[in-house]
A and B are shown apart, each in its own frame.
Chain A
Amino acid sequence: MRTPFLPPHVGLLRRLARKELSEILRDRRTILTLVLMPLLLYPLLAVAFRTFLLSGTTSPGPTIYRIGVHSGEEGESIQRYLLMGQDATEQRQARTTNDSTQQPAPELRWLDAEDLENAVLGNLVDVGIQPRPPGPFDERVRHGEVVDWELLYRDDSFSGRDAARYLESVCLAANTRLLTARLYRRVSPERETPVRPRPIALPNPQPRKSTLLSGLVPLILILMTITGAVYPAIDVTAGERERGTLEILVAAPVPRLSVLFAKYVAVFTVAMLTALVNLGTMTATLYLSGVGEVLFGAEGLSPLVFVQVLALLLLFAAFFSAVLLALTSFARSFKEAQAYLVPLMLLALMPGVLSLLPGLQLQGPLAITPLLNIALLTRDLLEGSARPVIAIVVVAATLLYALAALGVAARVFGAEAVLYSQSGGWTDLFRRPPGERTAATPSSALLCVALLFPSSFVIHGLLVRLGDQSIGEALVGMALANVLLFGGYPLVAVWWGRVRLSSGLRLTRPSVPACLAAVLLGLCLWPWAHEIALALRNVGIASLRGEHLDRVQGMLKQWELLSPLFLLLVIAVLPAVLEELFFRGYLFSALLGVLRPWPTILIAAALFALFHLILAGVLAVERFLPSLLLGIVLGWVCWKTGSLWPGMLLHALNNGCVVLLGYYQSRLVESGWLASGQEHLPITWLTIAALGSVVGILWMGRMGPGRYDKPTA
């Protein structure tokens, strides 16, 4: 039975999703999780945070604030003024409140400091008071002059913020008393406020250290997003099955995957709304309580960070909704689904709790650990210390995990073994198919991609870290890793899925003209990739900095120690063969069974480009577009010829030309073929490349679409 992977009727999909959403949003339990929980949780959390933050600084008895002033008369006049204010405050409190309920007034400890800013930043004092204009001010105030007080405190000091607020109130009380006295004595017509306090938060120049609390905020947001998605996910799958409403959908002429996709959209929407409501409430609470600024600094809760964190939560919601659907689709009842989700929640908590460890850096394998990577990246975003390379790895890995989870959900949802077999279990779904297939299923292919990305990241990261190895050893290591990843994964998947090699990997024999056209394109396309990368760098779309480029130059020098044949084999031919085997062989045929050719070409090319984005642990943004364009051409060639071989030839020649150019660069310069210090290729080369590319594309374009087989199931 063939079911299109992408829904054929968007309108139907929309109506299916609307029905799912109506059902979910009319349920009181959803509203409870969506709105009431955050409204209750976050204010309580803010109180808990404040208590936690202040617990280290307070002791039984009155609160003590350390106030820094300049020594001498200036300090003394400040003390006198504040004592007057404290006295006025106490008298007013005595008049208005009962003795038994009266709070003890905070105690002010005076410390002399010459450099108030340093004293505040060094946490020697909670607040430093700096009068403007400087010097003693009693006389000036008496003559009706106005004095400004700068109340300096550190932005991440909770006691500093509280002390500044207290001093502000005391100062205003002193002002009131002074103005009242003037009115009584009618000595001065001045009604101007004598002292104007102005709290100033000094940003801490030290890098903000991750604390338990700063890790807790993202974790709570993630857990709340999960909570929001759990109930709808169970309800639209196991719940519908238990109630018997799933039969209505299964009996209707609607593709099973459209139904699943609508359910996914509904669960994702609720998860997204939950994330939005939680983030909004959390931000408001942190802002209003002042805890946010203490934890994350003044920039921590800016609109930009809000949007970034929201986007990250949405990404996480997309991933987790798919995981939940995959899991709950197995369940035959609400209870069974809950039983499946308990281990998942515990499993989700483990990396979440790990993310609370202060000082835990988001790097290496942590960047590809689901949930933990999102929790740590959210924390880094809030603290303003997120790194783009790692952020891209986290986003890409999570996207691929989401795709893989959707693939599994697609395999599970509505499958006969799950819908109708009373004794069937998980193993039925992962059993090897009984008959041979012409191509892998899209769900298997997506699962393969999702496994390949983190494996590739970890293995290449390990190779880079191994360090003490010659360039030859490093290249051999890299080649073996590629064989393992791009060769091993598809071959195991093909064997497990009983996929016929010739059709599943598109190993059919190509025509001679197809190969010749591919050779022409392979020889002529690489200059464009080079020029596009240069153009991107010139307009600022580049992430490889000077030291990275120097490292590349150093590597080219080391290449000269090796045989060009070895280099061609390891860097040009082997990656071309393996990457084509995976992207245009295994993945391409799996997608082509359910998608039209151009979406297949674009998806395979985008994933191909994604894998080229990170070069030896360094983000190379400028590689994305050339890789994407090359991937599109390779996909197009694969579709037109119906075979993997021409694309492989094209890819190997393209890589080979680049390798040889790097290897013989100095000799080409010496012999005048290349200009020294010139980044662009000579115009003659580009003209020949342009002609060759046009001829190659026209030639290839004249060939009819290749024969490809549809999957059997």
Chain B
Amino acid sequence: MIRVENVTRCFPIAGGTEVRAVDGVSFQVGAGEVFGLLGPNGAGKTTTLRIILGMLRPNSGQASIGGWCAATSPDEVKRQVGLVSSSAALYQHLSVREMLLFCADLYQVPPDAARAELQRLAGLLGFAEILDRRCATLSTGQRQRVHFARALIHRPPVLLLDEPTAGLDVLGSQVVAEFIAHVRSEGKAVLLTTHQLDEAERLCDRFGLLHRGRLVSSGTLTELRAATGCQTLVEMFLKLAGTVPALKTTTPKSLRMSEDIQS
């Protein structure tokens, strides 16, 4: 479903130079698969997502969804995708119903179909009782549910989840996990970006490790373990990125002091 081929994107920065936010990244995500694009802040995850969605044009390479090239047919690509982003918000002065129907309208969903889908999603995600409340009055968990409904209201075959658990507590994260499991069961292709590697380990089928814009490794957890000799994604990432964990070599002064006291 999702195909990213050798995509590179640079941004100009002050002083006339430029930074390479995404550097020759390639991967694929199939239907019913959850692919985790992992990396620390600034690794290029969100930029990659925006290129896939046609919101940004790559300097080279190309991204496509269902055969549609994101750079040349952005509208067709956008129709195939539901986006959940941690930076997105809801329209404060609209009710949940108004907002979701408006979003369905943006994707040219016929009004009757949109209303039926809204009822289905409200039942599925458990927010039927807040449909007529203004978005400004919702709790964080309720907002999260509405965001998921917004991404699914036009029944897209592909979901892009950009840091969906950022700022959520354990219960909120659990809702996200259930949501991902549900959309996987519906046969949708899911691309998830996060820097919370333990969580990704739980949710994803395959992984791509991004570091400074480059995809340093990709595969299933078993493949990655075999290739790196590490057990967890955290260890793998640190090894592949060539970063030595600080605590293994140098013990902070405070810890040394506590050890002294114990001894």
* A and B are partners in one complex rather than unrelated chains: yes
From A241-249, A364-372, A469-477, the one touching the partner chain is: A241-249
Does residue A1 face the partner (Cβ distance < 8 Å to B)?
A: yes
Q: Is the CB of B85 within 8 A of A253?
A: no
Does residue B14 face the partner (Cβ distance < 8 Å to A)?
A: yes
Q: Mark A418-443, 1 if CB is under 8 A from B, else 0.
A: 01110110001000000000000000
Q: Which of A1, A15, A245, A254 contacts B91 (CB 8 A)?
A: A245
Q: Is the CB of A252 within 8 A of B106?
A: yes
Does residue A19 face the partner (Cβ distance < 8 Å to B)?
A: yes
From B71-79, B187-195, B232-240, B253-261, the one touching the partner chain is: B71-79
Does residue A250 face the partner (Cβ distance < 8 Å to B)?
A: yes
Does residue A550 face the partner (Cβ distance < 8 Å to B)?
A: no
Q: Is the CB of A247 within 8 A of B85?
A: yes
A-contacting residues, B75-125, CB 8 Å = 75-76, 78-79, 81, 83, 85, 87-94, 98, 102-103, 105-108
Q: Which of A26, A247, A252 has most chain B Cβ within 10 Å?
A: A252
Q: Which of B71, B106, B107 has most chain A Cβ within 10 Å?
A: B106
Bound CA span A23–B79, Å: 25
Bound CA span A424–B102, Å: 32
Q: Is the CB of B91 within 8 A of A23?
A: yes
Q: Is the CB of B106 within 8 A of A245?
A: no
Does residue A145 face the partner (Cβ distance < 8 Å to B)?
A: no
Q: Is the CB of B57 within 8 A of A416?
A: yes
Bound CA span A15–B105, Å: 8
Q: Mark B50-85, 1 if CB is under 8 A from A, else 0.
A: 100101110000000000000110111011010101
Known pairs A252-B106, A254-B106; A416 contacts B87 (CB<8 A) = no
Does residue A336 face the partner (Cβ distance < 8 Å to B)?
A: no
Does residue A187 face the partner (Cβ distance < 8 Å to B)?
A: no
Q: Is the CB of A423 within 8 A of B12?
A: yes
In the complex, what residues of A have CB within 8 A of residue B13's CB? 423
Number of chain A residues whose Cβ lies closer than 8 Å to a Cβ of chain B: 27
Q: Mark A194-223, 1 if CB is under 8 A from B, else 0.
A: 000000000000000000000000000000
Known pairs A15-B102, A423-B11, A423-B14; A253 contacts B76 (CB<8 A) = yes
Interface size class of B (residues with CB under 8 A): 35 or more
Q: Is the CB of B83 within 8 A of A27?
A: no
In the complex, what residues of B have CB within 8 A of residue A512's CB? none
Q: Which of B71, B90, B102 has most chain A Cβ within 10 Å?
A: B102
Q: Is the CB of A244 within 8 A of B87?
A: yes
In the complex, what residues of A have CB within 8 A of residue B94's CB? 19, 22-23
Closest to B74 in A: A1
A-contacting residues, B1-33, CB 8 Å = 11-14
Q: Mark A248-292, 1 if CB is under 8 A from B, else 0.
A: 111111110000000000000000000000000000000000000
Q: Which of B47, B76, B93, B106 contacts A249 (CB 8 A)?
A: B106
Q: Is the CB of A247 within 8 A of B78?
A: no
Does residue B150 face the partner (Cβ distance < 8 Å to A)?
A: yes
Bound CA span A461–B80, Å: 58
In the complex, what residues of B have CB within 8 A of residue A688's CB? none
Q: Which of B11, B93, B103, B106 contacts A421 (CB 8 A)?
A: B11
In the complex, what residues of B have CB within 8 A of residue A250's CB? 55
In the complex, what residues of B have CB within 8 A of residue A423's CB? 11-14
Q: Is the CB of B12 within 8 A of A245?
A: no
Q: Is the CB of A26 within 8 A of B106?
A: no
B-contacting residues, A90-120, CB 8 Å = none
Q: How far is the CB of A457 from chain B (nearest CB, A)?
A: 39
Q: Which 5 A-B pairs have the closest CB atoms?
A: A252-B106, A253-B75, A244-B89, A26-B93, A253-B78
B residues neighboring A (CB under 8 Å): 11-14, 47, 50, 53, 55-57, 71-72, 74-76, 78-79, 81, 83, 85, 87-94, 98, 102-103, 105-108, 150
A residues neighboring B (CB under 8 Å): 1, 12, 15, 19, 22-23, 26-27, 243-245, 247-255, 416, 419-421, 423-424, 428
Chosen A-B contacts, 5 in total, with CB atoms closer than 8 Å, are: A19-B91, A19-B98, A250-B55, A253-B79, A419-B55
